Chain A
Amino acid sequence: MFDNFPLWPERASTAAANVDALFIFLLIVSGMMTALIFTAVVYFAARYRRRKGVPAEQIEGSTPLELTWSFIPFVVFMVIFAWGAVVYFQSRTPPRDSTEVYVVAKQWMWKLEHAEGQREINELHVPVGRDVKLIMTSQDVIHSFFVPAFRMKQDVLPGRYTVAWFRATKPGTYHLFCTQYCGTQHSGMIGNVIVQEPAQYEAWMSGGSTGPLSATGEKIFAELGCVTCHRTDSQGRGPNLQGVFGKPVQLDDGRTVTADENYIRECILDPGARRVKGFQPIMPTFQGLVSEEQVNALVAYVKSLAQPATAGVKTAAVTAPQNQSQDQNQAAGSQVNP
């Protein structure tokens, strides 16, 4: 709208249109209700102002009227609820095959790493029209990743991953805000999401990186000695991680969990919490020995073991898995639930 007097945020993602539609519907409903009440109050106040010799008429009430004006708003509210729920559900369910970006928030900056390996600080380059999934964690306090133009917001928590996704629809540069108060420079923890045409994005991508995140993860996997127990050629002292990502895992207390990002992360940092059935509890914890970025790389590596090649990533170092798991169609876009 006007440059220095914005009345509406830009619309730059597929979700934006959905959110705006619901918002406009609410504006209309609220506007009508406000007009109704305002008009009634003003009209009654004027029409029934105190006049000599005209007493007030005592009206006890009207149960049918009460029920009507309880029921009709309730129905309208349920419509709003349902519509809002649908929009929310879509926004919280990342599509499969989304491009993944790992985000580490810290006081007071955003550190981002694409699965392909590019690192950014306070900036996120994405191509138009691609589903992008953010896998986010914090190094310290709770932050929140907010891009108004995408109508997208998700709190970023220490100690676990939270996930958000979007598909940008319009090239441009859009505000990125931290929107969960996090200390002194909370209002300085801002940046930009830069949406580019695919060609420009490829050009930017090829401008140097340290290699795909999963390759970094593989290096760390070897350096930390994980490979001694989690062998890929045979069953070692630890579970074979080939194809484990996204699949159900049986725990020793009888429960079954899905091996999503949070579970893999927990296994690294707190291996005793949810142990895999049939294995000795000998895995040491790596809490304090790995940074958030290193954990992200390890998670990316384990994910890459789920299928021969991840979308858009050339993994040079992955050997062809000997024991291919039967079900190939497990989603990489699993829901990261608390």
Chain B
Amino acid sequence: MPDSSATAIAGEAHGEHNPALLHHFATEEQQRDSSNLGMWIFLATEVMFFGGLFCAYLIYRGWYFGDFAAASTSIDAALGGANTAVLICSSLTVVLAIWAAQTSRRGLLLVMLALTMLFGCTFLGIKGLEYKDKFEEHHVPGASFSFDRVQIPGHPDQYANPQHAQIFFALYFIMTGLHALHMIIGLGLFAWLFWMAWKGRFTPEYHTPLEIGGLYWHFVDIVWIYLFPLLYLIDRHR
């Protein structure tokens, strides 16, 4: 479409294009593809970011398996499981929100976005409960940490090394804390998307922010899908 390209290049007059098209892009398709690719690359950087933590975790878990198993049994897998369900549901609502935008269902879009945020807040609330429990049990690493005479699962007469258990908890808090921070950022993102949806900015032709916001949310969900079994379910079958 030479006309709109030339128009876009000159940046003089607004031709017949979506007001959301930014002037340095030639077409809406280029803008949409760029936004998508940009978000995928950003998620790749997030994989590497979390990856360092997962690497450290896997190494120490290999070395101190029994101690890690003991520490793992002391965090609440029921709460963790509930959180997993909550996040999976929230990913469903995200997908439905995008479908709603694609099919011009503004009402449904708003409901789905709101539900997603509600699920996100639920997740954070349950996380807060878990952290509170850990604090009360003195499992927070630092001066008041204690982990005496905790049995290693499957070895009735052996107790976990508190130092190694402290490493587990340090990684637990850092990994779930970093994840929670990403959740909070995601909530902020979705609040902004809700506001944009409220203003009617999304159409079947243009809802890129929803798509890339959705990608981010799915990523945060997937990180949790890895965190949950690795942290909560060590040797649970014993």
Interfacial residues, chain A to chain B (CB-CB below 8 A):
253, 270, 272-273, 275, 280-281
Contact = CB atoms under 8 A, between A and B. Distances in A.
Nearest to B64: A273
Nearest to A280: B157
B161 interface: yes
Interface in B4-62: none
Contacts of B155: 281
A281 B161 contact: no
B74 interface: no
Contacts of A275: 158
Nearest to B158: A281
Given A272-B159, A273-B63, 9 more contacts: A270-B161, A272-B66, A272-B67, A273-B64, A275-B158, A280-B157, A281-B155, A281-B157, A281-B159
Contacts, number: 16
A80 B7 CA distance: 60
A281 B161 CA distance: 12
B66 to A, nearest CB: 8
Interface of B: 63-67, 155, 157-159, 161
A273 B161 contact: yes
A159 to B, nearest CB: 12
9 contacts: A253-B65, A272-B66, A272-B67, A272-B159, A273-B63, A273-B161, A275-B158, A281-B155, A281-B157
Contacts of B159: 272, 281
Contacts of A273: 63-64, 161
Contacts of A280: 157
Contacts of A253: 65
A217 to B, nearest CB: 25
A272 B98 CA distance: 53
Contacts of B65: 253
Contacts of B161: 270, 272-273
Nearest to A271: B161
Contacts of B157: 280-281
A280 B63 CA distance: 20
Nearest to B161: A272
A278 to B, nearest CB: 13
Nearest to A270: B161
A64 B78 CA distance: 65
A120 to B, nearest CB: 33
A275 B66 CA distance: 12
A281 B215 CA distance: 50
A44 B69 CA distance: 68
Contacts of A272: 66-67, 158-159, 161
Contacts of A281: 155, 157-159
A163 to B, nearest CB: 21
A147 B49 CA distance: 40
Contacts of A270: 161
Contacts of B67: 272
A192 B97 CA distance: 74
**Would you list the 4 A-B pairs with minimal beta carbon distance, nearest first?**
A281-B158, A272-B161, A281-B157, A280-B157
Nearest to A272: B161
A280 B156 CA distance: 11
A275 B64 CA distance: 12
B69 to A, nearest CB: 12
